[in-house]
Amino acid sequence: MKSAVITFPGSNCDRDMDIALKKFGFKNEMVWHDDNELPKSDLIVLPGGFSYGDYLRCGSMASKSKIMNSVIEFANSGGLVMGICNGFQILVETGLLPGVLLRNKYLEFICKNIFVKVENNNNPYFKNLNKNILELHIAHNEGNYFCTAEQLKEIEDNNQIAIYYSDKDGKTDEEFNPNGSMKNIAGIFNKNKNVLGMMPHPERMIDESLSGEDGSLFFKNLINNIK
């Protein structure tokens, strides 16, 4: 299985994502933001970490990068595109995903382990996953998902909400919401479920010596689903 990770100026989780994808069997290639063409891939990943310093608005400048034209085209033709953290922010800026990501409710950067409840298994990312509550890691300043009432109705009607912040038992009460995100939303799909954006970093949870191993489950399942 082939994957590609885009490096924008200022990306800093690109290496971590490269390592994670390779660890679970992807043949991964790094792609420079200023390139025009994507290599032939089964999965495109927009990594986390402050593209263009997150100046102006998170993800906004990266969304206008040359390579993004090809990424948008790839997504519109049904290709799998996954954005993690800053990658999620870039995806909403391109319009591939609805809504926006606002500054965290308490106006502070948060770096910690959290739990998410997987809501929707009918998609290439979470299908066949034998666990519906995952422990993942977040590290962001702007993860507070927001959209209009009409957009919310639409994404709910289309089952576009991928994961919710929860406790370890899957309760999605407000107290388990780390950043004020609407409805505890931690990740969403586009209508066709081929584009996924999420704030948590599965690539930081792929080793028992690090924060945990639920990221491994996610990647193992993902590559099996693509095969």
Partner 1 sequence: MIEVNEKIAIEHGLKKDEYKKICDLLKRTPNITELGIFSAMWNEHCSYKSSRLHLKKLPTKGKKVIQGPGENAGVIDIEDGDAIVFKIESHNHPSFIEPYQGAATGVGGIMRDVFTMGARPIANLNSIHFGSPQHKKTKNLLRGVVHGIGGYGNCIGVPTIAGQTSFDSSYNGNILVNAMTLGLVKKNKIFYSKAAGIDKPVIYVGSKTGRDGIHGASMASASFDEKIEEKKPTVQVGDPFTEKLLLEACLELMAGDSIIAIQDMGAAGLTSSSIEMASKGNLGIELNLNKVPCREGKMTPYEIMLSESQERMLIVLENGKEELAKKIFDKWNLDFAVIGKTTNTKNIELFFDNQQVAKIPVNTLVENSPMYDRKWKKAKLPKKNKIKKEIFNKLKIKDILSKILSNPNVCSKEWIWQQYDHTVMGDTIQKPGGNSGVVRVHETDKAVAATVDSSAVYCWAHPLTGGKQVVCESWRNLISVGATPIAITNCLNFGSPENEDNMGEFVECVQGIGEASKFLEFPVVSGNVSFYNQTKEVGIKPTPAIGGVGLIKNYKQMITMDFKEINNLVLIIGKTEGHMDQSLFARTILDEKNGPPPEINLFNEKNNGETLLQLIKNDFIKSAHDVSLGGIITAISKMCIKGNKGFEFEKLNIFMNEIEYLFSEDQGRYIIEINPSDLQKVSKILEKNSVHFDELGKIIDKYLIINQKTKVTIDELKSYNTSWLKEYMN
Q: Is 58 part of the annotated catalytic residue set?
A: no
Beta carbon nearer to partner 1, 71 or 84: 84
Beta carbon nearer to partner 1, 36 or 130: 36
168 binds partner 1 (CB under 8 A): no
What are the two backbone dihedrals, phi and then psi, of residue 62, each rounded to the nearest 5 degrees? -60, -35
Distance CA 125, CA 194 (A): 8
Helices within the chain (DSSP H only)? 14-23, 66-76, 86-94, 149-157, 214-226
Task: Tell me how far the alpha carbon of residue 149 is from its chain's centroid.
Answer: 22
108 binds partner 1 (CB under 8 A): yes
Query: Which of 28, 31, 41, 54 is in the footprint of partner 1 by CB under 8 A?
Result: 54
Cα radius of gyration rounded to whole Å, the chain? 16
To partner 1, the closest distance from the beta carbon of 91 in angstroms equals 20
How many residues touch partner 1 (CB under 8 A)? 30
Distance CA 222, CA 201 (A): 15
Q: Which of residues 121-160 bind partner 1 (CB under 8 A)?
A: 137, 139, 141
To partner 1, the closest distance from the beta carbon of 205 in angstroms equals 9
Query: Which of 83, 98, 185, 204 is in the footprint of partner 1 by CB under 8 A?
Result: 204
Is-contact 206 219, C-beta < 8 A? yes
The set of catalytic residues is 85, 201, 203
